[in-house]
Amino acid sequence: MKKHNFYAGPAILPAPVLEQAAAAVVDFEGMGLSLLEISHRSKEFTAVMEEAIQLPKDLLGLGDDFEVMYLTGGASSQFYMAAMNLLNDVETASYVDTGAWSTKAIKEAQHFGNIEVIATSKDKNYAYIPKGYHIPGNSTFLHLTSNNTIFGTEYHELPETDVPIICDMSSDIFSRPIDVARYGMIYAGAQKNLGPAGTTLAIVRKDLLGRVERTIPTMLNYQTHIAKNSSFNTPPVYPIYVCLLTLRWLKEQGGLAVVEEKNQAKAALLYNEIDENPLFEGTAAAEDRSLMNVTFVLKDETLSDAFLAAATAANCVGIKGHRSVGGFRASIYNAMPQSSVQVLVDVMKDFAQKNG
């Protein structure tokens, strides 16, 4: 029996995506060959890449002023590549520190240009999204982490500014529609909400490219990958194919407005239980709660092992919280069906009856 997969990442993928992905390993589209053993320059794979580049544009409503890339090295490589490609040594970029991933992005960007941390929620172990801070108008860009996978917080409103936003959307990409005009760049490691580990989706506004004066090694230059349709060198063909399958699935759902509605319903189901159940409490500020990663604790920590055992017995896996927050984290990405969330809610209700 398939388990209810609440892991934070690598994470759940839609069931039909896994089935098609498995079939492609054996025989890709009736070619008599596995997708794993064909050239990335074959017409079959070139078509995969073209569609995988087009669908993010369709789903997000991106105009021709944006370019889509599939890169390697994880979202973590974008922490430095973004600044390396987009920020001159004499320029300043503003960063908001909303958790471990933001902190890492800040550290790596510091190799290039001036990095100013204009707000942080570190004072409360990142349990909220800072608001009302000043964004210097001369910032080349503002870097945000839209969803904080570890701490369970998410931006529900962007700060007001004309500065282009560069956003790490690794854990909430394609979970809701976005106002594309606000963004200069978006990047996301595939393994949370899009596909398997091994590729990173990067979307960049063309006019921000070609501005920096430093020389950039060929493989680290966005322009290299854009010019060659993400096939300058051998791309991770299989992860990109699985991303394509997920993108098709998202489109079949009816687009991102429909996906957002489902995500809101799933999150509401779980947060309502956390709020109503006398044994549990949420760890993130209510107005900043993530629709993707739901973090909560037992008020009586001595019950933790028993609760984990009850969840495991109900086939719910991956709910142990990150070590820096403790407690529990249920990741309920796009691919998570509401029925699985209901199973976890039922475990919580039952646990309260037995231990209340």
Ligand X SMILES: *Cc1c(COP(=O)(O)O)cnc(C)c1O
Q: Least Å distance between CB 25 and ligand X?
A: 23
Asked if 72 touches ligand X (CB under 6 A), the answer is: no
120 and 244 Cβ atoms separated by less than 8 Å: no
Residue for token pair 């055992």: 309
Q: Give the one residue of 101, 112, 328, 333 binding ligand X; rule: CB under 6 A.
A: 101
For the segment 168-187, give every residue that binds ligand X (CB under 6 A).
168, 170-171
DSSP string, 311-330: HHHTTEE--BPPTTT-SEEE
Site string for ligand X, 5-44 (x = CB under 6 A): ----x-----------------------------------
Q: Which of 97, 168, 172, 288 is catalytic?
A: 168
Look up residue 346 and give its two tokens: 């039922």
- CA 234 to chain CA centroid, Å, is 24
309 and 331 Cβ atoms separated by less than 8 Å: no
101 is catalytic: yes
Asked if 322 touches ligand X (CB under 6 A), the answer is: no
Q: How many residues bind ligand X (CB under 6 A)?
A: 12
* Three-state secondary structure call for residue 204: strand
Q: Which is nearer to ligand X, 85 or 148 (CB)?
A: 148
Measured torsion, CA atoms of residues 148, 154, 157, 158, in degrees rounded to the nearest 10: 10
192 is catalytic: yes
Pairing of strands 293-298, 280-282: antiparallel
344 and 335 Cβ atoms separated by less than 8 Å: no
Q: Which is nearer to ligand X, 102 or 139 (CB)?
A: 102
Asked if 76 touches ligand X (CB under 6 A), the answer is: yes
Q: Which of 101, 249, 266, 288 is catalytic?
A: 101
Active site positions, annotated: 101, 168, 192
Question: Contact positions toward ligand X, by CB under 6 A?
Answer: 9, 74-76, 101, 145, 149, 168, 170-171, 189, 192
